[in-house]
Amino acid sequence: MKFDTPATENPIDRMTVVGKPIERIDGQMKTTGRAKYAYEWHDDAMPYAYGYPLGAAIAKGRIRAMDVSAAAQAPGVITIVTSDSMPDLKKAKRNTAKLFGGKDIHHYHQAVAVVVAETFEQARAAAHLIKVDYEEGKGAFDLEASMESARKPEDGEPDSAAGDFASAFDAATVQFDQTYTTPDQSHAMMEPHASIAAWDGDALTVWTSSQMIDWWRSDLATALDMDKEKIHIMSPFIGGGFGAKLFLRSDAVLAALAARAARRPVKVALPRPFLMNNTTHRPATIQRIRIGAGQDGKITAIAHESWSGDLEGGGPETAVQQTRLLYAGANRMTATRLAVLDLPEGNAMRAPGEAPGLMALEVAMDEMAEKLGQDPVAFRILNDTQVDPEKPEKAFSHRDLVGCMKLGAERFGWDKRSTRPGSVRDGDWLVGMGVAAAFRNNMVMASGARIKLDREGILTVETDMTDIGTGSYTIIAQTAAEMLGLPLDRVAVNLGDSRFPVSSGSGGQWGGNSATAGVYAACVKMREAIAQSLGFNAESIDFADGMVISGDRRVPLADAVREAPLIVEDTIEYGDISEEQQQSTFGAHFVEVGVDIATGEVRIRRMLAVCAAGRILNPMTARSQVIGAMTMGVGGALSEELAVDKKRGFFVNHDLAGYEVPVHADIPHQEVIFMDETDPMSSPMKAKGVGELGLCGVAAAINNAVYNATGIRVRNYPVTLDKLIGALPQIS
Amino acid sequence: MASAATVAASGVASKARAQQAEVPAGAKIGIPAGETSSVSFKVNGQDQTLSVDNRTTLLDALREHLHLTGTKKGCDHGQCGACTVMVDGRRINSCLSLAIMHEGDEVVTIEGLGEPGKLHPMQAAFVKHDGYQCGYCTPGQICSSVAVLEEIKAGMPSHVTGDLTAKVAFSLEEIRERMSGNLCRCGAYSNIVDAIADVAGRPA
C-alpha cells in the first residue's frame, strides 16, 4: 500500500481495540520468566559451546603479536579465533568501528579474540591467558582539545541558515550567548549484546538481540562475505536497546566465526564491562547558543552550534536539529562540526540529536526568559511557530506545543513557582520548579507484514518487527483485531524473525506508527481476500465481533477459509507526503526538585510530561514509554557520564556501578498526559512516536528546576553536587 | 570479622564435596585446574543434583545447567539485580554466589513463583500496572518485590526506616529504598511501585 494522500476515515477510527489501555499480550511470558532472550535458546539437539571475547587493552595502535599457546592448552578449550589471523572483516556502511579482524586497533576493547570452550567458566579463564603484544599509537581523546580541528561533516545537512543572523543578533535589544557541554552517555540496557550462531553447511542461523532484523542480516552477510539469503536471524525478545542494538555488533560476528571454527554452535554474550567501550555510545557535545530578542520577548535571532567527535569516518551528534524547527525567529543559523576522536564509536542513543540538543537549548531558553523578565512558559508560547521557521512555506502537519505548555502549567501548579531563585524552603530542602519543551521529529519507514487466517478463525500476524519493550506485540495485535473485528485472543503475533516480511524495525520512535501501518496495509488486503472468498462486495462489508457483515448477512470470519489458510502480505510505503509537511512530535516537561541546603544533593519530587504525538495506540504502553524516557532523563540530568581517560583513551566507568543510571529511590510517581489528537499525514494509523519524545527536554527541565531552587546555573552536565555545593545559598 | 569469614569459608568447604578432577595440561603453567563438584539443592521444590565447575555461579547453574533462564544475567557483578532469586526465603543476587555454596538450600526462581495462566499475585500486579517494558529486569524485580514485602512484615529495617525500635511500616519510601538494587533501564519504576503497593493492599 502506498501512502501518498492524507488518511481519511478508516476502520482504525472505530477505536474499539486500538486506543485502549490493553495489558501487554506478552506480559505473562515476561513476568513468569518464560520469554526467551537471545542467549537463552536451548535445544538438546544443538549442543553449543561457549565463546568468550577478549578486548583490546589499548585505544589505538597495532597488534604486534598474539600468544595463545597457554589459552589453547587450558581445560575445555576447543578453539580460539584471533583478529590478527585474518584480514579486516568487510564493514557495512552502518558501522563506523570495525567489528573484528586485522591487526589495527581503532578503539579500546575492540574485540581481538574469542575463545571457545566447553563451558563458560573455561572460556572466560582461557581468554585471560591470551597474551597480546601491542604497539601503542597516539590518539586524540579530548573533545575540547580537538575543537580547533573539527570539520564540517560531508553527509547530511550539517549547517543551515535563514535571514541574517549576525546582523540581527548585533541589533537585538537583549542578547544571550552561552556554551554548554553534555557528556558521553551509555545506553546501558539491561540485556547485554548476545548471540548464538549455528552453521548448517553454508547456512547460518543466529539468535540475537537486535532492534533491526534486516539491517543485521544484511550487515552480517557483508561481514562474513556470504549471501544474505543464507542467514536466518531470530530476535523475538530484546532486553532493551535504546539504539545500542540498531546496528550489527561484535557478539553476532564473534559467534558466527567461532561456530565456524569450532564446527558446532557457539554462544557469545558481551560481558557487562565490555559494553561501554566495545559497542557504541552517545557522543559528548559542546554547544554554543546565541539568542537575540526584542524587549517584548520575540526572538529575532537564534544560533546553535555543536561540536562532537567520532572515529574516522563516523558522524556527528546532530544536536542542533531541534533548533531549526522549535521556535520562531526570522534570522537564524545552525552549524555542526565533527572532530576525529579515537574513543569508541559514537552513534545513536535514544533521541539522538534532540536529547543532548535540548539539554542545552532548553536551558538557554530558561536563561533568556529570565533575562527578559518573562515567565519561561509564556516565553516559549510567545515564540511558537506553526511553520518551519527556516522554510516558512512548509507547515507542520500538526503542532500543539502551546497546548502542552498550557495544560501542563495548569496541572502542575506552575503558578505557584517562585520567580526568585533560591527562595523556597521546605525543611532542609531548597525547592524549585522547571519546565522545558519536548520536541522530536516523526519519521516514517516502510514496513511489511504477512497475515494468515486459519480455519479456527485465528489470525496470525508475522513481521520482522521487534519489541524492545515498546509494546509492539500488543499494538500490532490491537491493530489486527480492530481491522478484522476480532477479539484480541483470536490474534497471534510473531515478531523478530528474518523469515517474516521486512518491517520498519525499532528505532527513532518510528516503530509503533510504521509497523502498525504495515499491519494495517496487510489487513486491508485480508479484508479483500475474505470478501472475495465469501463472494461479498468488498466495498460494503463490515467486520465486527468475529463476523463478516454484509447487509443482512453475518458470517463467521473462519467461514472465509476453505481448505488452506488465507494468507496475504503487504508493505506500507510512503510517497512524498511525509516530506510535504513537517511532521514532528511535541511536549512539555514539568519538574519539581528539592536540593539539600547543606550537601547540594538533588532529589526529584514531582514530574509531569504532556505529549502531543498523534493518536495514542495504547495509552498504557505509551505511558510506559514516556515514564521510562523521563527516568532516563533524570539520569542524563543528574548522574550519567562516561568518564574519559584522556591519556589512555577509554571510558573508565564501564560497568553499572560506575555508570550511574537512576534507581527506584531516585524516581517519584510520574504523571503523563497525552493530548487527544490524530495526525492524518503520518499514516493510516494517524499515530506518531512517543518513545523518544518522552526523553527530550527532561534533563533541561530538571536543570532549570535546580536553578529555580538554588540560583545556581550549571551548564556542564550532569548536575552533580560538586557543581552546586560551593555556591549554595547561606543557610539562615 | 576474620573469624566470621573463616566460619563462612569452612562452611562452604564442608558443604561442597570437592572432587579433584584429572589434572589438565593447563595446570602445568599455573592456571586453575578445572575442579568440579557435586552439589544438591532444591529448585522450585524439585531436588536437583549437579556436577558443576567450582567457579560456576548459582546464576549460571540455573541458566546453563537447569535451563531456568527466567533468572537473568545483566551484569554478572552484583550491580543490577536482574539475577535476584530467593534462597531459603531470602533474596540474593545469584551471580554473587557460587553454586557449590548452596548444598541443601531451597532456591525459588521466577519460574517457581507462577506460570502463564497461574500467575503469582505479584506477577499479575506487574502485568496489570505495566511494571515492565523489555522484561529483562522483570523476574529480578518480581522476586525482589515478593521478598521486600516479607522483609517489611518480618520487621527488618532499611536505610530509610526512621525509628529502628518501632515496627517497620509499609511506605512507598521503604519500597523504593529496598528495591534500589534492582535496576530497570526502561524506567518502569513508577509502575513497579504501583504494582507492589497494590499487592501490599496499600494506595500507591
What is the 3-state secondary structure of B140-172? HHHHHHHHHHHHHHCCCCCCCCCCCCCCCCCCH
% chain A with pLDDT above 90: 97
Does this model's pTM top 0.90? My answer is: yes
As given in the structure block, the three cell numbers for residue A194 are 548476545
At residue B202, the pLDDT reads: 80
Of A28, A75, A668, the CB nearest to B26: A75
Distance, CA of A63 to CA of B163 (rounded, Å): 60
Characterise B154 by phi-psi region: left (phi > 0), alpha (psi -120 to 50), beta (else).
alpha
List pLDDT tens digits, range A567-620: 999 999 998 887 889 999 999 999 999 999 999 999 999 999 999 999 999 999
Do residue A74 and residue B24 have CB atoms under 8 angstroms apart?
Answer: yes
Distance, CA of B137 to CA of A545 (rounded, Å): 37
B17: β partners: B38
Helix (H) or strand (E) holding A79: strand A77-82
CA-closest candidate to residue B179, choices B168, B163, B195:
B195
Distance, CA of A313 to CA of A610 (rounded, Å): 39
DSSP label of A722: G
As given in the structure block, the three cell numbers for residue A355 are 536529547
Distance, CA of A708 to CA of A408 (rounded, Å): 18
Backbone angles phi, psi at A600, to 5 degrees: 80, 5
Is B110 near chain A, with CB under 8 Å?
yes
Query: B197 to chain A, minimum CA–CA distance in Å?
Result: 12
Chain B residues with CB inside 8 Å of A73's CB? Answer: 25-26, 29
Cβ contact A342:A60 at 8 Å:
yes
Chain A residues with CB inside 8 Å of B64's CB? Answer: 119-120
Helix (H) or strand (E) holding A379: helix A376-382
Do residue B134 and residue A239 have CB atoms under 8 angstroms apart?
Answer: yes
Distance, CA of A316 to CA of A337 (rounded, Å): 7
List pLDDT tens digits, range B139-193: 999 999 999 999 999 999 999 999 999 999 999 999 999 999 999 999 999 999 9
Which of B52, B63, B130 to probe the A interface (max A CBs under 10 A)? Answer: B130
Burial of A47 (0-12, 13-18, 19+ CB in 10 A): exposed
Asked whether residue A731 carries a pLDDT value surpassing 80, the answer given is no
Distance of CA A556 to the CA centre of its chain: 42
Do residue B185 and residue A661 have CB atoms under 8 angstroms apart?
Answer: yes
Distance, CA of A308 to CA of A312 (rounded, Å): 12
- Mean of the per-residue pLDDT values of chain A: 97
Domains of chain A by residue range: 2-35+444-579, 395-441+583-727
List pLDDT tens digits, range A257-266: 999 999 999 9
Cβ partners under 8 Å of residue A433, min gap 6: A412, A414, A416, A417, A590, A591, A592, A593, A705, A708
| Cis preceding linkage at A718, omega within 30 | yes
Chain A residues with CB inside 8 Å of B179's CB? Answer: 663-665
Q: How many alpha carbons fall within 13 Å on the CB side of residue B5?
A: 2
Cβ contact A92:A223 at 8 Å:
yes
At residue B25, the pLDDT reads: 42
As given in the structure block, the three cell numbers for residue A621 are 504502553
Give the nearest chain A residue to B183 (CA atoms): A663
Distance, CA of A269 to CA of A345 (rounded, Å): 19
Is B158 near chain A, with CB under 8 Å?
no
Of A32, A73, A188, the CB nearest to B119: A32
Query: A665 to chain B, minimum CA–CA distance in Å?
Result: 5
Distance, CA of A26 to CA of B116 (rounded, Å): 10
Asked whether residue B7 carries a pLDDT value surpassing 80, the answer given is no
Is B187 near chain A, with CB under 8 Å?
yes
Query: A374 to chain B, minimum CA–CA distance in Å?
Result: 33
Interface of B with A in 33-72 (CB under 8 A): 33-34, 53, 55-56, 60, 63-64, 67-72
At residue A732, the pLDDT reads: 60
List pLDDT tens digits, range A479-500: 999 999 999 999 999 999 999 9
Measured CA to CA in angstroms, residue A416 lies from A366, A376, A592, B170 at distances of 17, 13, 11, 31
Cβ contact A574:A4 at 8 Å:
yes
CA-closest candidate to residue A491, choices A525, A461, A527, A467:
A461
Give the nearest chain B residue to A72 (CA atoms): B26
Chain B residues with CB inside 8 Å of A470's CB? Answer: 133
Asked whether residue B9 carries a pLDDT value surpassing 70, the answer given is no
Burial of B81 (0-12, 13-18, 19+ CB in 10 A): buried
Do residue A238 and residue B134 have CB atoms under 8 angstroms apart?
Answer: yes
CA-closest candidate to residue A410, choices A190, A644, A230, A588:
A588
CA-closest candidate to residue A657, choices A276, A284, A238, A249:
A276
Of B64, B179, B188, the CB nearest to A628: B188
Of B75, B116, B180, the CB nearest to A663: B180
Distance, CA of A236 to CA of A90 (rounded, Å): 27
Chain A residues with CB inside 8 Å of B56's CB? Answer: 119-121
Give the nearest chain A residue to B53 (CA atoms): A121
At residue A451, the pLDDT reads: 98
Do residue A624 and residue B56 have CB atoms under 8 angstroms apart?
Answer: no
ipTM of the prediction:
0.97
Do residue B26 and residue A73 have CB atoms under 8 angstroms apart?
Answer: yes
List pLDDT tens digits, range A663-690: 999 999 999 999 999 999 999 999 999 9
List pLDDT tens digits, range A264-306: 999 999 999 999 999 999 999 999 999 999 999 999 999 999 9
Residue type, B164: L
Cβ partners under 8 Å of residue A108, min gap 6: A55, A56, A57, A58, A59, A277, A343, A344, A648, A649, A650, A651
Q: Which residue has the cell 541458566?
A: B63
Cβ contact A246:A507 at 8 Å:
yes
- Residue A44 binned pLDDT confidence (cut-offs 50, 70, 90): confident
Burial of A726 (0-12, 13-18, 19+ CB in 10 A): exposed
Is B185 near chain A, with CB under 8 Å?
yes
What architecture is domain A395-441+583-727?
2-Layer Sandwich (3.30)
Cβ partners under 8 Å of residue B118, min gap 6: none
Burial of A546 (0-12, 13-18, 19+ CB in 10 A): middle
Chain A residues with CB inside 8 Å of B117's CB? Answer: 28
Do residue A664 and residue B127 have CB atoms under 8 angstroms apart?
Answer: no
A589: β partners: A436, A609
Do residue A664 and residue B175 have CB atoms under 8 angstroms apart?
Answer: yes
Asked whether residue A539 carries a pLDDT value surpassing 90, the answer given is no
At residue A580, the pLDDT reads: 87
List pLDDT tens digits, range A316-327: 999 999 999 999
Enzyme catalytic residues of A? 692
List pLDDT tens digits, range B39-65: 999 999 999 999 999 999 999 999 999
Let me know if the fold of A2-35+444-579 is the same as that of A395-441+583-727: yes
Domains and CATH numbers, chain B: 36-111 (3.10.20.30), 121-199 (1.10.150.120)
Measured CA to CA in angstroms, residue A338 lies from A51, A142, A497, A638 at distances of 36, 13, 37, 26
At residue B27, the pLDDT reads: 40
Asked whether residue A722 carries a pLDDT value surpassing 90, the answer given is yes
Is B127 near chain A, with CB under 8 Å?
yes
Of A39, A40, A272, the CB nearest to B75: A272
As given in the structure block, the three cell numbers for residue B162 are 526512621
Of B75, B124, B133, the CB nearest to A656: B75
List pLDDT tens digits, range A391-441: 999 999 999 999 999 999 999 999 999 999 999 999 999 999 999 999 999
CATH topology of domain A2-35+444-579: Aldehyde Oxidoreductase; domain 4 (3.30.365)
Do residue B135 and residue A237 have CB atoms under 8 angstroms apart?
Answer: yes
Angle B170-B176-B180 from CA coordinates, rounded to 5°: 135
Size of interface A-B (CB pairs under 8 A): 223
Four-residue CA torsion sign, A706, A710, A713, A717: negative
Distance, CA of A54 to CA of A51 (rounded, Å): 10
Distance, CA of B140 to CA of A51 (rounded, Å): 26
Is B73 near chain A, with CB under 8 Å?
yes
At residue B29, the pLDDT reads: 43
B97: β partners: none
Four-residue CA torsion sign, B87, B93, B95, B98: negative
CA-closest candidate to residue B150, choices B122, B114, B124:
B122
- The pLDDT of A552-574, averaged and rounded, is 95
List pLDDT tens digits, range A214-225: 999 999 999 999
At residue A563, the pLDDT reads: 87
Chain A residues with CB inside 8 Å of B67's CB? Answer: 42
Distance, CA of B122 to CA of B142 (rounded, Å): 7
As given in the structure block, the three cell numbers for residue A583 are 511532521
At residue A45, the pLDDT reads: 85
User: What would the DSSP string read from start to end of chain B?
Assistant: -HHHHHHHHHHHHHHSEEEPPP--GGGGGTPPP--EEEEEEEETTEEEEEEEETT-BHHHIIIIIS--TTS--S-SSSSS-TTEEEETTEEEEGGGSBGGGGTT-EEE-HHHH-BTTB--HHHHHHHHTT--SS-SSHHHHHHHHHHHHHHHHTT---TT-S-TTSPPPP-HHHHHHHTTTS--TT--HHHHHHHHHHHTT---
